[in-house]
Amino acid sequence: MRKLTVHTKNRDYDVLQEKGILKRAKELIRPEGSVYLVSDDGVPAKWQQCLQEQFPDAPMYVFPHGEQAKNLSTWQKILEDMLAHNLSRKDMVIALGGGVAGDMAGFAAASYMRGIAYVNIPTTSLSQIDSSIGGKTAVDLAGAKNCVGAFWQPSMVLVDPDVLKTLSSRQFHNGLVEAVKEGLTFDPELFAMFEKDDYMEHVDDIIWKCLNIKKNVVEHDERESGERKLLNFGHTYGHAYETYYGLNTYLHGECVGMGMMTIMNNPQIKERLQKVLERMGCPVHCDADYDQIAHLITHDKKADHDHVTIVQVDEIGKGHLEEWTMEQIRKKMDV
Ligand code: GLY
């Protein structure tokens, strides 16, 4: 079993990676009080049953999968159900699912009785690589992604490579794009793994490398005042592409891939990135309207009014931050 410990201001917690670790969840978590399970209906029933068999007395709240459900209404229903089951401060929430399930369960745990423990069991490559550690929990509000939430670190994260076997190739690569991003911004060796045809044989190592990168970033900058922003490489345009195309055209990682292609200045690195994305079957360019994308970025409810902090990569493994004017944001799409 691989193990790392994330040290944060309020909590230190272990991240464990092992094939089949889902079957050992109870033995590893060893909860002292009651357990409340949160999942979504996109998670294969066999993973949910595996967890329920270990916690037969625990209720499981299953909400509809997808970003549409990541809202205050679902959050309220979960909290009401937790209350109806008499969950107390010493009890625990366990999230089983992708990024949305982790966000929902994490934010419910963060807010219920001013905060109770939660354990994250990510079931997608995207959540295993990125969102399951670091303590960002949130729901969307009036079209603003992750507008209401909290930094609330999990008590443990269990990463089971076996649960990824039920993902389609497209979903799998959706998450791997975030690993490509971490290679470009932090680790040339990680990026180089994607430049070889056999990268799928090394997925467990790729995920473990990403978890270690994320641990270091979160330990230095839990609240995203500096270094953690580097994890947003490709997301400035990527989020705008997601909004522009809606929920049914491109996946998050695909938009991030196109977002990295849009923002990349260095032509040599851009060419290498294009080859990597094409090898993964991901889109590299889109036909979005420049003005509308620029408008979405500059009118993002969370953006400052006259500039945007972007991430740039001029040398692989060394991402850095730049302040761009709105004009720079618009012009970059013309090249
Ligand atoms: N997903 C980026 C972060 O956790 O900061």
Q: Give 54-85 as a DSSP string.
A: HSTTS-EEEE--SGGG-SHHHHHHHHHHHHHT
Cα(66) to centroid(ligand 1), Å: 19
pLDDT in the model for residue 288: 92
pLDDT in the model for residue 330: 86
Distance (Å, rounded) from C-alpha 78 to C-alpha 38?
A: 8
- 303 has a pLDDT exceeding 80: no
pLDDT in the model for residue 143: 79
pLDDT in the model for residue 302: 63
Q: Is the CB of 99 under 6 A from ligand 1?
A: no
- Terminal C-alpha separation, the chain: 47
Cα(131) to centroid(ligand 1), Å: 6
pLDDT band at 274 (very low <50, low <70, confident <90, very high): very high
Number of other residues whose CB lies within 10 A of the CB of residue 26: 15
pLDDT in the model for residue 301: 61
- 185 has a pLDDT exceeding 80: yes
| Model pTM score | 0.95
pLDDT in the model for residue 290: 86
Cα(132) to centroid(ligand 1), Å: 9
- 98 has a pLDDT exceeding 80: yes
Ligand 1, atom 3: nearest CA belongs to which residue? Answer: 231
Residue 161: name the closest of 283, 7, 33, 2 by CA.
2
Number of other residues whose CB lies within 10 A of the CB of residue 291: 10
Among 191-200, 237-246, 267-276, which stretch is predicted with the lowest mean pLDDT? 237-246
pLDDT band at 305 (very low <50, low <70, confident <90, very high): low
Q: Is the CB of 24 under 6 A from ligand 1?
A: no
What average pLDDT score do residues 87-115 get? 98
pLDDT in the model for residue 190: 98
pLDDT in the model for residue 326: 84
What average pLDDT score do residues 151-180 get? 98
Q: 213 in helix, strand or coil?
A: helix
* 48 touches 33 (CB < 8 A): no
Residue 81: name the closest of 98, 65, 104 by CA.
104
* pLDDT above 90 coverage of the chain, percent: 88
- 30 has a pLDDT exceeding 70: yes
What average pLDDT score do residues 152-157 get? 98
What average pLDDT score do residues 140-147 get? 88
- 74 has a pLDDT exceeding 80: yes
Q: Is the CB of 187 under 6 A from ligand 1?
A: no
Ligand 1, atom 2: nearest CA belongs to which residue? Answer: 231
What average pLDDT score do residues 15-35 get? 98
Cα(239) to centroid(ligand 1), Å: 13
Cα(39) to centroid(ligand 1), Å: 21
Distance (Å, rounded) from C-alpha 312 to C-alpha 282?
A: 21
- 154 has a pLDDT exceeding 80: yes
Q: Is the CB of 54 under 6 A from ligand 1?
A: no
* 159 touches 151 (CB < 8 A): no
Q: Is the CB of 229 under 6 A from ligand 1?
A: no
pLDDT in the model for residue 280: 97
pLDDT band at 191 (very low <50, low <70, confident <90, very high): very high
- 333 has a pLDDT exceeding 90: no
Helix residue ranges per DSSP H, the chain? 25-29, 45-54, 72-84, 99-111, 125-126, 169-186, 188-193, 203-220, 235-245, 252-263, 267-279, 290-298, 326-332
What average pLDDT score do residues 34-56 get? 98
pLDDT in the model for residue 11: 95
Tokens of residue 209, six digits: 């490398």
State the chain's mean pLDDT as an integer: 95
Distance (Å, rounded) from C-alpha 4 to C-alpha 215?
A: 8
What average pLDDT score do residues 247-270 get? 95
Q: Is the CB of 182 under 6 A from ligand 1?
A: no
What average pLDDT score do residues 47-62 get? 98
pLDDT in the model for residue 3: 98
Q: Is the CB of 132 under 6 A from ligand 1?
A: no
